[in-house]
Structures are given as C-alpha cells and as structure tokens.
C-alpha cells in the first residue's frame, strides 16, 4: 500500500514536460552533457525519471528529449509544487542544473511506436 | 523419552507393583531390625510378568484430523516441517496417501503462507498450511498479514505441545506456548485451540466457513501434539460436521436500487473497482454494469476487475474522470479517501480533494463487516454519501437489474454518446502508453516498458496468467480473463511476490496455463528457497527478474529525506542498493534446479531469452530470466 501511495503522489509531476510556446523559451545556459549525465545519476534524478530521463512507471514524468524550458525546469527543481523533493541551491548548483539540462537536451529521439512490433499487438 | 498419558499410567501401576514385590528395590531394614526379625519365607510362586509397554498404535488422532481436512477439499498443503506437527505430517503422507492434500515442501513459513495467498486468488479456495506453533508461526506472520489485508483466505494449522508434563526436555519446551495464535491474532479472522478430536472437527469446519465468508481472511487452528499422537479411544464417537458455506452478504436491496437511480441519472458517473471481482462471474458482471451505463471503469487492480482493452476501461484517465464526476461508485475500494484526494509528502504534509462540489460518493464493500483496531489497514475514513455494507460482487446482479429497469430511450441515447467519447479516449490512452514505451527503448539497463512489451510478445499467443507484474504492464497487455491478474500483496509486505507467484502457478498448473511473474529482485532475496520448491515440485512458472539492484522504493524515500535536509543527496544508495557484488540470479536459479538465463543487459537479447524460457515452462518446468532493468 505504501508503494501505491508513494507512486500516486509522485505522479503529480506528470504533464510538466514540453509543449510551451516558442516565445516563452529562453536560451538555456551552456552546460556539459557528459557531466550532466553523471550527476543525473548520482543526484538521484534517475530514481524517478529513469536513467535516460524517459520517465518512470508512475514515479516521474519523461523529461527528455525536448525538455521543458530551462527556466521552468530550474524553478520547479528549486520549489516543486507537486510531489518531487526539492533540490535547493545548497545541494544542486546552477552549474549542475545547466549540465543536467545539457544532458536532457542531448537525448536522442526514440523510434516510432509503429516501427516496433512488440508495441503493436 | 516421552510417553503418552495412558502408557504413563500403566507404567506407574506396574512400577508400584514391582517395588512392592522386589526385595532388592524394597526399603532396606537397619542391621538391628534385621536381627530382631525372623527370616521371611521366600515366595514359591513365579515372579510376576513384566508389564508390556504399548509402543505402537494403528489409529492415532492425527489420522482423524486428516479425515477432517480431507472433508474440506484441500488440494495442497504447504509446509516447512516442524516437530510439533510430526504426527499430522506422518498421517498426511501415509494414512492420507499424500493426496488431497499433497504436501508441498517450503523452505520458509513465509513462503508457505504466501504460496497459499497466491493459490487462493487463482483457485478461489484456500490452500492448507502447516506451521510450527512458535518459531514457524513467527516466520509466517508477515505473510499472514499480507493475506489478511488482501482479504484472501488461508487455512493455517499450527502445532503446539500444550500439556507441560508431556513435553520432551529441551527444544520442545522452547517451541511450546500457552497461546499459540497470539502473535497473529490481530490479523487472522478467527482461531481456536481444540482440546479433543471432536472439538478439532467442529472447529476445523467452522474455520473453513469463516475463512470463506466475505470478507475472506486467514484462519488458524492449533493442533495439539498429544491430540495428534494419542490413539483414538473410540473412533465411532467421532463425527465430522457438514460444511455449510455462507452465501456472500449482498447490499440491502432498497439502498442498491437507490444507487442504480443515481447512476442512471448521472451525467458523469465513474465506477472504481479494486477488489471487486472475486470470480470470473464478477468480471463479467462489472462489464455488464459498465456497458449498461456506458460508464467509465477505473480498475485499481486489486483483482482482475475489468478487461484492459475494453473501451470503457479508463484507468489511464482516472484523475480527470474523478475530477469531473457527479457520481462515484467504489466497489471494494481499499483506499477510497486516497482515490478521491491528492496528497503531498513534503515537509508539511498536505492534501486536497480531487472531486468537484456536489459529487455523490457511494461505497459498496464487505470490509465494513470486519474491522479490527490495532493494525491500521482500514485506511483513512472516506466520507461517502451512501455506504452499503455487502460484498460488491454479490451485490452486482441486483444493481445491474435495477439499473436496466430505469433505462429510458433518452438515457440510452445519452449513454451511447458517452460511450463513443470514452472509446475514443481509451484509444488515445493506449497510443500514449505505446509512445511512452518508446522512450528509452534501447536503453541499458533495460526499461521496464520494454521488458513488459517483450514479455507480452512472448506470451500473448498462450493461455497466460500474470501472477505478479509491474506498473505499466496493464495498458500494454490485453487482459480479459479473470485469472490473468491477481493483484498484489495487500499488506505491502516485501517477500510476497516470489512465493505468491508460485502458489498461483500451482493453481494454474492443472489448467495448463502459462504463469508469468515480473519478479522484483529485493523480494526474491527474502526467501529464495522458493526456487527450490518450484523445481522440486515441478511447478511451471516463468519468473522474469525486474532486477534494478536496489530496494528502489526505499532509495526514493531516503533520497527524499536527504533533499529535505539539504545534505548528502548522493548517498541514498547506502543501505538500499543490492549491488557490489551484483547478484547473479540465473546462477542462483540453476543452483536450485531451476532453468536460469541472464543477466540480460542488452535489450536486443531480451526477446530471444524470453522465448527460450517460455519453451522450458511450456514443458512443465520453472524458468527464470534475469533482466537488469531501469529502476521503474
């Protein structure tokens, strides 16, 4: 039961990713995608969002490819309004965030579902 | 050496006689007294024959206990052997012929109970479990709690040596107890300590009836070891009562008619089912109710309530439907409050209602018939507008009939329009799930979505039964039969999945179904001896490891605390990960006599590995494929 409640709460993040209008998108700060990949794991982001930021089953939304605007992501990470634990600047620096964002932006586009037989039964 | 009371009395009488007639063992007179006495004449009769100690019996009490247990129709008995049950154990395998029930050897009492838990959810009736009355029952306790929370019947017989004067010195004292059931009394529905065979028979039949009356739950009987081992004095006096099972309690008819009225009048009704469908009939009836109303169904998965590909299955859209509903009907919903509210686990915990003003909430559940105080499995109090006490499945026929009586042409047209919109929403949700599965498709560790999709591809053409799964499976698989999903542990106790899956597979065996479990790694490590049980008894089960090398739920909890305290956010894996060294589950399986393959790290290797394992299971053997996966 504990498992179900936890997942239900974390799932509140769903719907955050992508989809904002072009004029709202600011240029993200430069970042190191390789380091971003490393700290995406070590800081525990992968625990809910998956190691490729593909999203977890009921735990956290997909973040990549095509992540939400950097400012939106940064604001939410610092002061989440849903179930996600807060990552304050004391534990995740602005540079860390920029590197994580670079990692998210570097994720490849997945194959189309229709091209995968196992997803068409 | 122990002796039963009858032999003890015989020996005592014989011993007294021996002392009285044996000059050597008689009290010796003093020398003075000896001189003062005339010599005693030596008896010329033959010395009395030594009493013959009765050492055998061909009719122990345990034989009658077996007669009683056979009358209840148990197919199997799961047990880890214990001396307090040696009499009953021997009677089952010899007097009872080790059939109905057939003994299944388990390596841990937790496994015995969990096997019974999984078995009952497939077969619809309890499996017998024997456990040593002290240490064995302590091992079993967590699994009993799971079954209790999950409303699943498990029939438990524990051994105990009640008469202190009859216990062997040493361990039998350590393994005896005044009140054997006390450690689990908070989470069994009923228990008893029979002190005669007649008492055992009556209580055994009563226990079965209680276990099978909704809400279904575990029951426990104590089998005293003297009662098991002492000869039956007068077998003609013994009687096994007839089992008269209770009909499931239905909701009160006027209240159910009122529910039908509310549902038919509603513009946006929602049916929420959790442990609603106990049987195949329950699944069909929920389909009939939903189709009658063209109402969306949110299947919370406690049982196989509703087909996953049915157009009215709107589980993926549950949040929006709850928010927009004007009538919500909960059918055996375990956490109705949690269904209707969101909750934030932040430093200050908070919640808010998800429903709109004026919504009418209805609950139909048998849970209200049996609530205890200590363990808090009853969840937060739900504020229902109409709470009907009764078994939801048993209440469905009258609810369907009442709803059909209220249908008008106008309402039918409205329902038809609603149904079309819901069908379109269902298809969109399915497409979303398929698209979501493509992200991380080629990742290593392997994504849980890919694991789920590849496994579905490997089994979809078989008569399959998913006996344990992971989140996300439901949408990608086509569930439409009552045995294709059985829910989870109920009490959240880890260590359930492996043995419960095997118990369900045992029930599926005679039907020739392919049982498949997506097996969490941490769960298997609680009692991995269950793999040996699978091999020893040749129970066909495909276990596919969801090997994320962690107690991942706990990783996330510790991470949350580290974030909240703004320190050490890279250290949540300490005490929560299961790595360094990584466990080789395929080798573990092979060591237990189970086919093992893996570890599979490359997603391209997964499909072929699963096909090989399916072929093994199709031959009637267990198989395990170790898949190194993403966390969730």
In tens, the pLDDT along B222-250 reads: 999 999 999 998 888 899 999 998 999 99
Strands B350-353 and B341-344 turn out to be antiparallel
Q: What is the overall mean pLDDT for chain B?
A: 93
Pairwise CA distance, residues B163 & B226, whole Å: 8
Task: Give the bridge partners for B466, in sequence order.
Answer: B485, B516
B546 to each of B78, B435, B450, B573, B624, how far by Cα in Å?
A: 26, 21, 11, 18, 11
The answer to whether residue A82 neighbours chain B at the CB level (below 8 Å) is yes
What string of DSSP letters covers A83-105? SSPP--TTTS-HHHHHHHHHHHH
pLDDT of res. B233 = 86
Question: pLDDT at residue B169 above 70?
Answer: yes
- pLDDT tens per residue, range B557-593: 999 999 999 999 999 999 999 999 999 999 999 999 9
pLDDT of res. A57 = 81
B290 membership: H or E segment, kind and range: helix B280-293
Measure the N-to-C terminal CA separation of chain A; round to a whole number of Å.
Answer: 31
Contact B364, B277 (CB under 8 A): no
Domain parsing of chain B, residue ranges: 1-55, 61-237, 253-430, 439-628
What kind of fold does domain B253-430 have according to CATH?
Rossmann fold (3.40.50)
CA Rg, chain A, in Å?
Answer: 15
pLDDT of res. A14 = 36
Listed by number, the residues of chain B in 321-350 with a beta carbon closer than 8 Å to a beta carbon of chain A are 334-335, 338, 342-346
Domain spanning A2-15+31-109, CATH architecture: Orthogonal Bundle (1.10)
Chosen for mutation from B302, B338, B631 (greatest number of chain A CBs closer than 10 Å) is: B631
Provide the token pair at B294. Answer: 């063209």
Q: Buried b / exposed e across B338-358, counting CB within 10 Å, b at 16+?
A: bbbbbbbebeeeeeeebbeee
- pLDDT tens per residue, range B32-59: 444 445 455 555 566 667 789 999 999 9
Pairwise CA distance, residues B441 & B449, whole Å: 8
The answer to whether residue A9 neighbours chain B at the CB level (below 8 Å) is yes
Contact A36, A53 (CB under 8 A): no
Provide the token pair at B460. Answer: 């979809």
Asked if B253-430 and B439-628 have one fold, the answer is yes
| Residue B20: band (very low, low, confident or very high) from pLDDT cuts 50, 70, 90 | very low
Pairwise CA distance, residues B271 & B325, whole Å: 10
The answer to whether residue A18 neighbours chain B at the CB level (below 8 Å) is no
Between residues B12 and B421, the one the model is more confident about? B421
- pLDDT tens per residue, range B455-514: 999 999 999 999 999 766 678 999 999 999 999 999 999 999 999 999 999 999 999 999
E strands, B349-408, in order:
350-353, 360-365, 386-389
Least confident residue range of B7-16, B245-254, B381-390: B7-16
CATH number for the domain formed by residue range(s) B61-237: 3.40.50.970
| Residue A100 CA from chain centroid, whole number | 9
The answer to whether residue A70 neighbours chain B at the CB level (below 8 Å) is no
Task: Give the bridge partners for B299, in sequence order.
Answer: B273
- pLDDT tens per residue, range B172-217: 999 999 999 999 999 999 999 999 999 999 999 999 999 999 999 9
Pairwise CA distance, residues B456 & B435, whole Å: 16
* Nearest residue, CB atoms, A44 vs list B345, B491, B572: B572
Nearest to B505 by CA among B473, B472, B533: B533
Pairwise CA distance, residues B138 & B17, whole Å: 47
Q: How many H-runs (helices) and E-runs (strands) does chain A carry?
A: 5, 0
Question: Residue B103 has what DSSP assignment?
Answer: E
Q: What is the overall mean pLDDT for chain A?
A: 84
As a whole number, mean pLDDT of residues B322-349 equals 97
Report chain B residues whose CB lies below 8 A from the CB of A76: none
> Chain B residue closest to A59 (CA)?
B632
As a whole number, mean pLDDT of residues A16-31 equals 61
Contact B234, B252 (CB under 8 A): no
> Collapsing DSSP states into helix, strand and coil, what is residue A59?
coil
pLDDT of res. B234 = 85
| Residue B182 CA from chain centroid, whole number | 20
Pairwise CA distance, residues B362 & B266, whole Å: 13
Provide the token pair at B378. Answer: 């009853």
Q: Tell me if the pTM is above 0.95.
A: no
CATH number for the domain formed by residue range(s) B439-628: 3.40.50.970
Listed by number, the residues of chain B in 416-455 with a beta carbon closer than 8 Å to a beta carbon of chain A are 431, 434-443, 445, 447-450, 453-454
* Nearest residue, CB atoms, A44 vs list B456, B559, B632: B559
Provide the token pair at B624. Answer: 């395990």
Strands B102-105 and B128-132 turn out to be unpaired
Task: Count the alpha carbons within 13 Å of B185 in the hemisphere toward its beta carbon.
Answer: 9
At residue B477, φ and ψ (nearest 5 deg) are -105, 155
| Residue B103 CA from chain centroid, whole number | 17
pLDDT of res. B479 = 96
pLDDT of res. B471 = 63
Chosen for mutation from B439, B478, B550 (greatest number of chain A CBs closer than 10 Å) is: B439
Please count the other Cβ atoms lying within 10 Å of the Cβ belonging to residue B247.
9
> Chain B residue closest to A61 (CA)?
B436
Domain parsing of chain A, residue ranges: 2-15+31-109
At residue B212, φ and ψ (nearest 5 deg) are -95, 5
Report chain A residues whose CB lies below 8 A from the CB of B476: 119
């Amino acid at each position: 039961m504990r498992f179900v409640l936890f997942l239900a709460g974390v799932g509140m993040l769903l719907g955050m990713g992508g989809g904002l209008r072009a004029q709202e998108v600011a240029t993200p700060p430069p970042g190191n995608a390789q380091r971003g990949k490393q700290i995406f794991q070590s800081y525990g982001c992968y625990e809910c969002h998956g190691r490729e930021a593909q999203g977890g089953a009921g735990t956290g939304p997909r973040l990549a490819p095509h992540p939400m605007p950097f400012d939106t992501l940064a604001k939410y990470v610092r002061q989440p309004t849903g179930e996600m634990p807060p990552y304050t600047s004391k534990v995740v620096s602005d540079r860390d965030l920029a590197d994580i964002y670079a990692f998210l932006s570097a994720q490849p586009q997945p194959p189309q579902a229709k091209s995968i037989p196992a997803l068409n039964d | 050496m122990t002796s039963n009371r009858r032999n003890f009395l015989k020996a005592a009488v014989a011993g007294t006689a021996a002392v009285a007639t044996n000059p050597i063992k008689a009290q010796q007179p003093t020398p003075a007294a000896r001189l003062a006495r005339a010599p005693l004449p030596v008896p010329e009769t033959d010395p009395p024959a030594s009493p013959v100690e009765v050492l055998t019996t061909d009719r122990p009490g345990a034989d009658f206990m077996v007669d009683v247990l056979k009358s209840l129709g148990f197919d199997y008995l799961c047990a880890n052997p214990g001396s307090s049950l040696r009499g009953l154990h021997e009677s089952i395998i010899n007097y009872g012929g080790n059939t109905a029930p057939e003994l299944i050897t388990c390596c841990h009492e937790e496994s015995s109970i969990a096997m019974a838990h999984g078995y009952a959810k497939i077969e619809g009736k309890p499996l017998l479990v024997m456990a040593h009355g002290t240490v064995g029952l302590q091992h079993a306790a967590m699994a009993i709690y799971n079954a209790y929370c999950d409303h699943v019947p498990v029939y438990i017989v524990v051994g105990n040596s009640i008469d202190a004067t009859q216990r062997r010195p040493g361990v039998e004292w350590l393994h005896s107890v005044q009140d054997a059931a006390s450690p689990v009394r908070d989470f069994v529905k009923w228990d008893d300590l029979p002190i005669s065979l007649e008492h055992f028979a009556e209580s055994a039949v009563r226990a079965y009836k209680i276990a099978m009356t909704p809400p279904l739950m575990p029951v426990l009987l104590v089998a005293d070891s003297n009662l098991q081992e002492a000869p039956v004095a007068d077998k003609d006096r013994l009687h096994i009562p007839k089992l008269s099972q209770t009909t499931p309690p239905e909701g009160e008819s006027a209240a159910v008619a009122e529910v039908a009225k509310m549902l038919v009048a509603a513009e946006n009704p929602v049916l929420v089912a959790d442990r609603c469908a106990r049987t195949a009939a329950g699944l069909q009836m929920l389909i009939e109710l939903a189709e009658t109303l063209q109402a969306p169904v949110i299947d919370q998965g406690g049982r196989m309530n509703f087909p996953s590909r049915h157009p009215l299955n709107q589980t993926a859209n549950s949040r929006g439907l709850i928010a927009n509903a004007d009538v919500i009907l909960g059918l055996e919903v375990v956490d109705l409050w949690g269904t209707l509210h969101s909750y934030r686990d932040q430093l200050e915990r908070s919640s808010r209602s998800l429903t709109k003003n004026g919504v009418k909430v209805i609950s139909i559940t048998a849970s209200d018939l049996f609530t205890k105080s200590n363990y808090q499995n009853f969840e937060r109090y739900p504020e229902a507008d109409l709470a009907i006490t009764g078994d939801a499945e048993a209440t469905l026929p009258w609810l369907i009939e009442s709803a059909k009586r209220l249908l008008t042409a106008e309402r039918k047209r409205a329902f038809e329009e609603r149904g079309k919109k819901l069908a379109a929403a269902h298809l969109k949700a399915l497409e979303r799930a398929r698209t979501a599965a493509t992200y991380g498709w080629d990742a290593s560790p392997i994504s849980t979505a890919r694991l789920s999709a590849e496994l579905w591809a490997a089994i979809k053409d078989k008569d399959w039964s998913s006996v344990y799964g992971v989140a996300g499976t439901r949408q990608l698989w086509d569930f439409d039969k009552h045995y294709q999903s059985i829910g989870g542990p109920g009490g959240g106790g880890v260590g359930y999945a492996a043995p419960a899956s095997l118990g369900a597979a045992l029930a599926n065996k005679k039907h020739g179904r392919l049982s498949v479990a997506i097996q969490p790694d941490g769960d298997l490590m609680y009692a991995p001896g269950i793999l040996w049980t699978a091999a020893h008894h040749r129970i066909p089960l495909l276990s596919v490891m969801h090997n994320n090398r962690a107690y991942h739920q706990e990783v996330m909890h510790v991470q949350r605390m580290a974030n909240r305290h703004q320190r050490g956010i890279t250290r949540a894996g300490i005490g929560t990960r299961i790595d360094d060294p990584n466990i080789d589950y395929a080798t573990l399986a092979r060591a237990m006599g189970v086919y093992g393959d893996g570890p599979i790290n490359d997603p391209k290797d997964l499909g072929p590995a699963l096909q090989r394992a399916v072929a093994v299971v199709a031959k009637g053997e267990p198989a395990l494929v170790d898949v190194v996966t993403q966390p969730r």
